[in-house]
Amino acid sequence: MSRHVLTVSELTAMVRVSLETDFAEVWLEGEVSNLRAPASGHLYCTLKDQTSQIRAVIFRSAAVRLRFSLEEGLHVVVRGRLSVYEPRGEYQVILDYLEPKGRGAFQLAFEQLKRRLEAEGLFDREGKQSLPVFPRTVGIVTSPTGAAVRDLITVLHRRCPVLKIIIAPVQVQGLGAAEQITAAIQALNGLGVIDVMIIGRGGGSLEDLWSFNEEIVVRAIAASRVPIVSAVGHETDVTLADFAADVRAPSPSAAAEMVAPVLTEIVERLGMLTACCRQAISSRCLEQHQRLDLLLAHMDSIRFRVLKEAQRVDGAVAGMREAVRALLRQTMVDAQAWTQALMSRSPELQVRRDLVIVPQLRSRLIAAVNHGLKRKAEQTHAYLGRFNGLSPLAILDRGYGILETMPGRRIIRDAGQVSAGEEILARLARGKIRCRVEEVNLDPSV
C-alpha cells in the first residue's frame, strides 16, 4: 500500500484553504487582550472568553475605518474570516468589522475622544471668551441649503437689521465635512473683521452630527481667536463642539438670539439713558448755580479779610526792610574792625623784618658747609690710604703673585692642591704667567 507523505507546509496550506473556505465569514464576541499596534498600522490582539481564546489581526486598511480606539479589556462583537498563519501553524481570525458590545462605535469613540481632549484642557472654562455686547459682523459656518442657515439669518435680521453677516458654506455631514468646517473656522479667523462666530446645523442622529465630534473640528474651535457659539442639533443633542465652544446654544435660533441684540430695545434704552443724562445734567447745573450764589454772597466778607491781611503784610515787609538795613550797617562796622586787626597781624611785616638777617644766616651756613666738606675730604683720603695698604693689588706691586689652578680658577694656598706636571696660572701686578709645576714639596721647612 503506497503512502502519500505531506510536508508541514503542504499540510498547513491545505488547512488554511479549508478554513478560509468553510469559515469565510464568522461573527464572534469576546474581550480584547494582548493588544499590539506596531508602526505598520496593523493591529494584533487576542479575543477571549471564560475558557478559550483566539488570535486576531486587523490589517491597516480595516483599522483606519474604526471609529473608536481598541482598548485592553473592551468587549466587542467582530466579523471576520478564519485563516492560518503558516510560519507558526497557528489559526487566527482576520477581522474586517468591529463594534463595542452593548453600545455603538460612535458612542464609544465620542467618549474616548472626550476623555482625551478633556485631559488636555481643551474644555476648561478658564479659556472661554465672552461674547461681544454689540457685534458688528457675525460669521456663520453651516450648510448653505439647510434650515439652520435660514433660521439664523431670519433671527439676526429681525433682531438687528444693521448687523453684517458673512456665511462660510460647508458640508455638515459625510466624507470631508470635518475638513470643510475646520477650514471655514480658520478662514473666518483670518478675515480680521468677525466679532463673533456661529457654527451649527439642524438636528439628526449621532452619525449625522459626527462631523462636529471630529478632533480637527474640536481643536479648531478651541484655537479660534473669535468667540464661537455652538448651535449643533437640538437641545438634547450633545457634541464635542459644544464643550470646546465659548458658548453652547440649544438651537441655531437660540444662538442668533444670544449673538444679536434687539436693535429697537437698544434704541429705546439709549433714549431712556439720554433722558436720564439730561435730567442729571440739569440737576447738576442747578446745584452748581446754587453753590456759586453762596460763594458770591461770601465774597464781600472774604474781600475784607484779604485787604486786612494785605495791610498786615505791608507792615511786616516794612519792618523787615528796616531790620535788614540795621543788620547791614552793623556788619560794615564789624568788617572794618576785623580788617584793621588783620592788618596789624599781617605776615608781610614779619617777613620784612626777618629778611634783614637772611644774608647773615646765609654766610654762616656757607662757612659751616665748607668746613664740614673739608673735614669729610680729609677723612676720605685717610680711608683711601688705609684701603690701598690692604688691597691685594698693592701686595702684587711689591713683587708677590697669586697662583690659580687652570681648570676651575681656584686660588692655590697649599702645595697639596697641585701635582707635578700640572699647569697653573700666576697673576702678577701687571699681567698673568702660565706655568708648569716641576716638583711638589709638602715640607714647609725646606
Could you read off the pLDDT of 292-346 as tens digits, one per residue? Answer: 777 777 776 677 777 778 778 888 888 888 888 888 888 888 888 887 777 777 6
Identity of the highest mean pLDDT range in 59-73, 245-259, 277-291:
245-259
Give me 162's grid cell. 444693521
What's residue 138's pLDDT?
93
Rounded CA-CA distance 329/334 in Å is 9
Rounded CA-CA distance 231/196 in Å is 13
- Residue 105: pLDDT band (50, 70, 90) is low
Average pLDDT over residues 425-430: 82
- What residue spans in the chain does CATH classification 2.40.50.140 cover? 8-102
What's residue 225's pLDDT?
92
What's residue 39's pLDDT?
86
Residues 5-29: b if buried by 16+ CB within 10 A, e if exposed? eeeeeeebeeebeebeeeeeeeebe
- Whether the CB-CB separation of 56 and 98 falls below 8 Å is answered with no
Average pLDDT, the chain: 82
Label residue 441 exposed, middle or buried (CB < 10 Å: 0-12, 13-18, 19+).
exposed
The dotted CATH code for 129-261 is: 3.40.50.2300
Closest of 170, 195, 194 to residue 183, by C-alpha: 170
* DSSP result, 195-218: SEEEEEE----TTTTGGGGSHHHH
Closest of 179, 170, 233, 235 to residue 206, by C-alpha: 233
Q: pLDDT by residue (tens digit) across 363-398?
A: 888 888 888 888 888 888 888 777 776 666 667 777
Question: Does the pLDDT value for residue 35 go beyond 70?
Answer: yes
DSSP 417: G
Question: Does the pLDDT value for residue 438 go beyond 80?
Answer: yes
What are the DSSP E strand ranges found in 71-145? 75-85, 90-100, 137-142
Q: pLDDT by residue (tens digit) across 56-80?
A: 888 888 877 777 777 777 788 888 8
Closest of 138, 113, 313, 77 to residue 216, by C-alpha: 113
- Residue 444: pLDDT band (50, 70, 90) is low
Report phi then psi at 98, rounded to 5: -140, 145
More confident position, 203 or 160: 160
Handedness of CA 113, 115, 119, 122 (dihedral sign): positive
What's residue 333's pLDDT?
84
Looking at the whole model, is its pTM more than 0.95? no
What's residue 372's pLDDT?
86
- What residue spans in the chain does CATH classification 3.40.50.2300 cover? 129-261
Q: pLDDT by residue (tens digit) across 189-238?
A: 999 899 999 998 887 777 778 888 888 898 999 889 999 999 887 777 78
Lowest mean pLDDT among 97-106, 162-171, 400-409: 97-106
- Whether the CB-CB separation of 167 and 184 falls below 8 Å is answered with no
Give me 264's grid cell. 429697537
What's residue 300's pLDDT?
66
Rounded CA-CA distance 419/333 in Å is 108
Give me 175's grid cell. 466624507
CATH class of 8-102: mainly beta
Helix residue ranges, H only, 238-346: 240-244, 252-259, 263-297, 299-344
What's residue 229's pLDDT?
92
Rounded CA-CA distance 426/411 in Å is 10
- Residue 102: pLDDT band (50, 70, 90) is low
Q: Which residue type sits at 410?
A: R
Question: Does the pLDDT value for residue 104 go beyond 60?
Answer: no
In three-state secondary structure terms, 55 is: strand
